[in-house]
Amino acid sequence: MSATIIDGAALAAEIRQQCTQRAAALTARGHRPGLAVVLVGDSQASAVYVRHKINDCAQVGIHSELVQLPAHTDEQTVLDHVRRLNEAPDIHGILVQLPLPDQIAERRVIETISPAKDVDGFHVANAGALMTGQRGFAPCTPYGVMHMLAHAGVELAGAEAVVVGRSNIVGKPQAMMLLAADATVTLCHSRTRDLAEHTRRADVLIAAVGRAKMITGDMIKPGAVVVDVGMNRDENGRLCGDVDFESAAAVASRITPVPGGVGPMTRAMLLVNTLNATEIAAGAA
Ligand code: NDP
């Protein structure tokens, strides 16, 4: 292996440390930060994600409220909870854990969250702010990736950046953030012809697909920086990314691991967004 590891777990720990100080300062000024998490249904995976988020809040001194609803909950009930949380003075961030059960329209729920409390950055107002270079909340995963690249000293201005995957929560906002950092951006997806032709041009390659080890070393330009957003299970049931780590690390200059890369950063950026929301609310109070 020749690539240097970009250690997301270590950077996330540093960010949590800073968050602890920010939360304490806000609380001392009478603005204790608060995050509400809405969980509908009994998905094991969602329950684990939510538990991590609640624990992270406790660790840094952010107050949290968990709204846990059964799988058969109707849309109106979820919207009522969101509207109540929009008005709650002790709550500065609202996160609705996705996916929601089929009877609930995710878009309607997301658009009901006050943009000022939309710490996931999924509301159309925040997506639009990102698109037009205005202040807003950035989705946690691509925001975390940008922090990792900055911390690793990766020069983005003028770089060829290739993002594989165009979801609203990762690929598309990632492309917008890289563009805002003056990279030349290519956004690939399932209909892209000859994916490897694009990935081999990348100085910075971001994989956000959801297919175990699909990006192999021969698809990577020597010396490229490779960020693996994917979270998949390999043939032995072990957590792995979208990048075949072994072959990619032999070619790349820097690479993020799975686990211990983007995942911890996503969690850390939720805390950062919640504190940003609290500081804005405190400034306005
Ligand atoms: P989605 O399923 O919403 O999007 C996947 C994207 O990959 C789509 O745009 C799809 O294209 C594209 N795609 C699928 N197959 C191919 C292919 N063969 N070649 C090129 N592109 C392809 O996934 P998410 O964006 O939500 O998540 C992506 C991965 O990141 C998952 O593994 C997920 O678990 C992980 N993830 C990790 C997070 C973390 O904190 N580490 C947070 C969020 C997600 P098309 O649009 O054409 O269908």
The CATH number assigned to the domain holding 171 equals 3.40.50.720
- pTM of the predicted structure, to 2 decimals: 0.98
Sequence-separated (6 or more) residues with CB below 8 Å from residue 22? 275, 279
Distance from C-alpha of 208 to C-alpha of 82, rounded to nearest angstrom: 29
Catalytic residue among 56, 118, 120, 203: 120
What does the pLDDT read at residue 285?
72
Say yes or no: 92 and 196 in one domain: no
Its domain, for residue 40, covers 30-117
Residues framing ligand 1 (Cβ under 6 A): 141, 164-167, 169-171, 188-192, 195, 208-211, 229-232, 262-263, 266
Please check whether residue 45 lies inside any domain of the structure. Answer: yes
- Indicate the residue among 117, 132, 157 that finishes a domain: 117
102 is catalytic: no
Please check whether residue 175 lies inside any domain of the structure. Answer: yes
Say yes or no: 259 and 145 in one domain: yes
Say yes or no: 108 and 144 in one domain: no
Please check whether residue 244 lies inside any domain of the structure. Answer: yes
Please check whether residue 210 lies inside any domain of the structure. Answer: yes
Per-residue pLDDT tens, the chain, 285 aa: give them: 689 999 999 999 999 999 999 999 999 999 999 999 999 999 999 999 999 999 999 999 999 999 999 999 999 999 999 999 999 999 999 999 999 999 999 999 999 999 999 999 999 999 999 999 999 999 999 999 999 999 999 999 999 999 999 999 999 999 999 999 999 999 999 999 999 999 999 999 999 999 999 999 999 999 999 999 999 999 999 999 999 999 999 999 999 999 999 999 999 999 999 999 999 999 977
Please check whether residue 21 lies inside any domain of the structure. Answer: no
Say yes or no: 169 and 90 in one domain: no
User: Residue 51 is part of a domain; what is its CATH number?
Assistant: 3.40.50.10860
Which atom of ligand 1 is nearest to 189's Cα? 21
Say yes or no: 155 and 110 in one domain: no
97 is catalytic: yes
